[in-house]
Amino acid sequence: MEKTKNRLEVCLSPAIYDKHSDDENLVVIVDVLRASSSICTAIHNGVKSILPVATVEEASEMKQQGYIVASERDGFVLDFADFGNSPFNFTREIVKGQEIVYSTTNGTRCIHMASHSKAVVIGTFLNISVLADWLIRQNAPVLIFCASWKDRFCLEDTVFAGALAERLLGSGKFETICDAVSASIDLWNLAKTDLPGYISKSAQKGRLASKGLDDCLEYCLTADQTSVIPVFQDGRLIDVSKVNEVMLNL
């Protein structure tokens, strides 16, 4: 007998996460500008693993233990860190074969919040097609979790959630009664013909531009630049191809 369709939901803020939380979920963490994009870039460029840490204190401690540390708060590189949160920092020359500690204002906290789930993966425009195909194959409920900005609603993460949700629903394998899915798909369809133009009105674009950090905007909004799917496993983000699916319990 055909299995019933799997549940699809979008969570628009970490403040609402406990309303969507379910141990059975595959959770897609979305922090388009810029943590998701940086993590995908680092793994694409051959990083051995990324250790996302939630607090500045942990990041600082890991630096003293000798790790390379990428860490920002509010767009400012922390003084003990090697570099910040731009995907352009994670070049092949710097990251290949390395273990990198990573801590940001919003995205890394969400990874830990969702770590009780069946699997936690990282989603962004850079890997949207391979990610959608992988999620469709897993036959499990999916929660797209927007990291947002300090718990406030955030346009760019929501638009990405809509782009991914549309592909998942289009597969016929998912169903939803979540208003955030409908709204995010509608916003994606408004944005998709000129994504950088649409996102230019977002608060995060303004925050990045005021610090000269918006040079990565076009890159972060360009689909399908990598086939990696970062997955959170034993405290580390690695490519899903490196993980035995039995270990993921899928």
Interface residue list for a second copy (CB under 8 A): 10, 12-13, 15-16, 19-20, 149-155, 158, 177-180, 182-183, 186-187, 190, 201-204, 206
CA–CA distance, 111 with 119 (Å, rounded to integer): 10
Nearer to a second copy, 4 or 64 (CB): 4
| Helices (H) then strands (E): counts for the chain | 11, 11
For 77-103, b/e burial (b = at least 16 CB within 10 A) is bbeebbbbbbbebbeeebbeebebbbb
CB of 12 to a second copy, least distance (A): 5
Q: For residue 230, what is the enclosing H or E element?
A: strand 230-233
Using DSSP, state whether 151 is helix, strand or coil. coil
Sequence-distant (≥ 6) Cβ neighbours of residue 198 within 8 angstroms: 155, 159, 190, 191
Q: Tell me the HSE value of 172 on the side-chain side, using a 13 A CA sphere.
A: 2
Whole-number minimum distance, CB 78 to a second copy, in Å?
A: 23
The least CB distance from residue 215 to a second copy, in Å, is 21
Residue closer to a second copy (CB basis): 142 or 155: 155
| CB 211, min distance to a second copy, A | 15
Nearer to a second copy, 10 or 165 (CB): 10
Strands 76-77 and 68-73: antiparallel
**Contact at 8 Å (CB) between 153 and 60?**
no
Smallest distance from the beta carbon of 27 to a second copy, in angstroms?
A: 16
CB of 184 to a second copy, least distance (A): 9
For a second copy, the closer of residues 57 and 179 by Cβ is 179
Find the shortest distance in angstroms from Cβ 198 to a second copy. Answer: 9
Decide whether 179 or 194 has the Cβ nearer to a second copy. Answer: 179
Cβ nearer to a second copy, comparing 3 with 19? 19
Tell me which residue of 91, 90, 115, 116 sits closest to 101, measured CA to CA.
90
Q: Identify which of residues 13 and 225 has a Cβ nearer to a second copy in the complex.
A: 13
Q: Please say whether the beta carbons of 32 and 164 come within 8 A.
A: no
Buried b (16+ CB within 10 A) or exposed e, 113-122: bbeebbbbbb
